[in-house]
Chains A and B, each alone.
Chain A
């Protein structure tokens, strides 16, 4: 059974432990600016919303890539960027309608969540279980994926 990140913004306190853990794991430094998961702050509402790639079925990023640099890891279900193949053209960054694959000026390549190979650090670091790593059919994920449908270029005929 594939597992996915499930995010419950109601539980998030905005402590940014997930961003720290992500940047340490992936970049070797504590720098939230380089994190693949991002906590958005809604000052007026006093809310925090952690957000990252859902490894969506449509995989816009993968299909847009001109050099086949993004591939599915069949063990984890994550779409992973092969740094060696990526030329840094950024087409995936404008194609992903969720804004969750981004260009990194330092490496000249793009970065996105890869579920840390199946053991996501953000979920482990979150002190309130706002981020959990759960079976893919659990609630929450479907809701996130439902948005993807709204962005489809193609209308599938019923039946």
Chain B
């Protein structure tokens, strides 16, 4: 069997490894369009603060690792895919054929439609190449503007500040990370950032970016002008699936629609990771979560079904995020906004920036937001994904939401 994996991120690499495990004799090729060995975007913030070097971002560290698994890694960009001849044409003019193909091409950042956004002082923070540019552009005390305080924006925020940037963050929403944190969490996070010297402008958009000598001026919707040596845009992403146009593969909002086997609308074409329009565990609805753990879940399931059709079903991935913003750790799980007719409970210690809010549907936990908590956080996933009935422990959690670990032990072990 001949497998082609397009995309050399975490989804592509984990899929290739799983394919190898399940089919020792198959031919496996990973095609990726970045020049570096397969690496993890998630590690970029740690590269920016010199916590690791570039090698530290590589998904697999041992020299010759892929060769030792008999996995070919080819650099090139897939430009079109033809299901009839089961082939992919690359930017190098090569044609690669396959019996089964996995599309794991991830997504890429989009720039907001703003006058002057094409200024060379504006960059995204997505690839190792971007990271090198940012590292070179930040000198201690340099004024930097970050457009977007979503999940990715907030993740790089810490690295930018640690690298010495004098940072202004501009966010369109009314609070930071509006799609991951509730009002209370988001506002506390903003307060925390302000206290650490970051200038946070919420409910604000960028109107224009104007050249200003060696720097630029970022003009905001409320008429402010912020000078910056570097502007980093983290204002949304788009799936890398355009090369499938005309192939017959169904796209949803730009992502590849997949069924429970991670299979696209065309047999023998599968998709995984940030490019896949797939099922959310909590809502049962389809969409793109764009997080690392989901990419890896997808990859393992897709690879299983590529080797043995319809062998493993995807039940939906739990949406979960963890964020460290200059020492303040926040996390979100599942339906953190709550459900109609559900109940919620919260505990707030504003002075110490500690907060937990649990969301219930009946006596099941369906979502959570936390701030300032680091111990036993994962058990929230266990409770949500196990769909455990909490029984009397629900009332106990309502009166003390910090007892999640005890609740878990009680309902799973009869403790």
Using CB atoms and an 8 Å cutoff, list the residues of chain A in contact with chain B.
9, 38, 40-42, 45, 47, 49, 51, 60, 63-64, 66-68, 85, 87-91, 93-103, 105, 143-144, 147, 150-157
Smallest distance from the beta carbon of B112 to chain A beta carbons, Å?
27
Known: A9-B415, A90-B329, A96-B378. A153 touches B42 (CB 8 A): no
List of A residues within 8 angstroms of B378 by Cβ: 60, 93-101
Q: Contact: B42 with A89, CB < 8 Å?
A: yes
Query: Which of B113-121, B221-229, B406-414 interfaces with chain A?
Result: B406-414
Contact of B413 among A9, A66, A103, A105 (CB under 8 A): A9
Contact of A154 among B56, B301, B322, B377 (CB under 8 A): B301
Q: Contact: A85 with B376, CB < 8 Å?
A: no
Contact of B376 among A9, A68, A89, A102 (CB under 8 A): A102
Known: A47-B415, A90-B322, A154-B300. A66 touches B385 (CB 8 A): no
Using CB atoms and an 8 Å cutoff, list the residues of chain B in contact with chain A.
10, 14, 40, 42-43, 46, 51-52, 56-61, 281, 292-293, 296-297, 300-301, 304, 310-318, 320-322, 324, 329, 331, 333, 374-382, 385-386, 388, 404-406, 408-410, 412-413, 415
Known: A94-B381, A97-B379, A101-B378. A42 touches B60 (CB 8 A): no
Cα(A60)–Cα(B377), bound, Å: 14
Q: Contact: B312 with A155, CB < 8 Å?
A: yes
Nearest 5 Cβ contacts at the A-B interface: A99-B379, A97-B382, A99-B376, A66-B40, A96-B378
Cα(A63)–Cα(B10), bound, Å: 10
List of B residues within 8 angstroms of A9 by Cβ: 413, 415
A-B contact pairs, 13 of them (CB 8 A): A9-B415, A42-B415, A63-B14, A67-B56, A91-B292, A93-B374, A94-B333, A98-B379, A99-B377, A153-B314, A154-B297, A155-B315, A157-B310
List of A residues within 8 angstroms of B311 by Cβ: 156-157
Smallest distance from the beta carbon of A108 to chain B beta carbons, Å?
8
Q: Contact: A49 with B381, CB < 8 Å?
A: no
Closest A residue by C-beta to B298: A153
Known: A66-B10, A67-B40, A153-B297. A49 touches B313 (CB 8 A): no
List of B residues within 8 angstroms of A66 by Cβ: 10, 40, 42-43, 59, 292
Contact of B61 among A38, A60, A85 (CB under 8 A): A85
Smallest distance from the beta carbon of A79 to chain B beta carbons, Å?
14
Q: Contact: A150 with B408, CB < 8 Å?
A: no
Q: Contact: B405 with A99, CB < 8 Å?
A: yes
Contact of B410 among A42, A96, A102, A150 (CB under 8 A): A42
Point out which of B304, B315, B316, B382 has the most chain A C-beta atoms below 10 A from its C-beta: B382
Closest B residue by C-beta to A144: B413
Q: Contact: A91 with B385, CB < 8 Å?
A: no
Q: Contact: A99 with B406, CB < 8 Å?
A: no
Q: Contact: B43 with A95, CB < 8 Å?
A: no
Point out which of B43, B61, B321, B378 has the most chain A C-beta atoms below 10 A from its C-beta: B378
Cα(A85)–Cα(B58), bound, Å: 10
Smallest distance from the beta carbon of A85 to chain B beta carbons, Å?
7
List of A residues within 8 angstroms of B381 by Cβ: 94-97, 151
